[in-house]
Amino acid sequence: MPASFLLFLSAGLLTYTLSRFAGKAPRQDQPQRPKFYALQVVYEKQVQNAKDSLRSPDDQFAEILPGGQLVLLMENILFPSPITGNGETAGCVDSGSVVGKEETDFGLEGRFMWQDTQGEQRHEWIPLGPTATGFCISPPPLAIYSFKDSAGVDMIRITNPGTKSLFVDAVIGYMWMF
C-alpha cells in the first residue's frame, strides 16, 4: 500500500509544470506572429478579479491566491509547437505566453482536445512546457495515434501552488503562419 500511495502522490505532483512569467522579448529566431487571447473565465477558485486576465495585456491583473486556480477559454485553438534546430540547439516555437508580474512559480496546463479512432471528442489536461519567452505544447502520448491537424489546446489552467499571490494580466496564443 505505501508504494501505491507514493505513486498516487507523485502522479498528482506531475499534473502541472511549474512556470514563471517570461519577462523577456521574443527570441530573434521566432518571428512575430498574429496573437489571440483568453476570451472567457471558465472556472475560478480563490481568484480575485478573474476577468482582468482576459483579452490583451492592460496592466489590470487577476489575483490568484495561494492554492487558487483559474481556467480560461482561449479565442482560438493553441496548436502543438514545432521543434526547431537539432541536438543542443533544439527548441520549440512558442505556442503562447502568460503575462503577469512578480517572480512567482505557477502551474500551467492546457486542455488538449482530439478525436479518438471512433470519432468521439476526447480531452485531457497536459502540462505546458515553459520556455524563456512563453510556453510550448506537445500532444499527450495517448493522443498521438489519433492526432490530427485540428487537435490542440482550447483552455489554459493556471494554478498557484505557492504561498504568495500570483498576478495574471493576460494569456496570449500565437497563430501559426505556414
- Rounded to two decimals, the pTM is 0.79
- The three grid cell numbers given for residue 97, joined into one nine-digit string: 505566453
Return the DSSP state at 87.
Answer: G
Q: What are phi and psi of 78, to 5 degrees?
A: -90, 125
- The three grid cell numbers given for residue 64, joined into one nine-digit string: 490568484
Among 66, 67, 37, 71, CA closest to 54: 37
First-to-last CA distance in the chain? 52
Q: What is the DSSP string of 17-86?
A: EEE----SPPPTTS----EEEEEEEEEEEEEESGGGGSSS--S--EEEEEEEEEEEEEEEEEPPPPEES-
Q: How many CB atoms lie within 10 A of CB 82?
A: 11
- The three grid cell numbers given for residue 116, joined into one nine-digit string: 479518438
C-alpha separations of 174 from 31, 52, 89 in Å? 11, 20, 22
Q: Give the length of the chain.
A: 178
Residue 171 contacts by C-beta under 8 Å, 6 or more apart in sequence? 37, 38, 53, 72, 74, 96, 97, 98, 99, 156, 158
- The three grid cell numbers given for residue 45, joined into one nine-digit string: 477558485
Q: Which residue has the higher pLDDT, 151 or 19?
A: 151
The pLDDT value given to residue 149: 53
Band of the pLDDT at 90, cuts 50, 70, 90?
low
The pLDDT value given to residue 15: 42
Q: What are phi and psi of 171, to 5 degrees?
A: -115, 125
Q: Which residue has the higher pLDDT, 70 or 105?
A: 70
pLDDT one-digit tens code per residue, 145-168 = 454 555 789 999 999 999 999 999
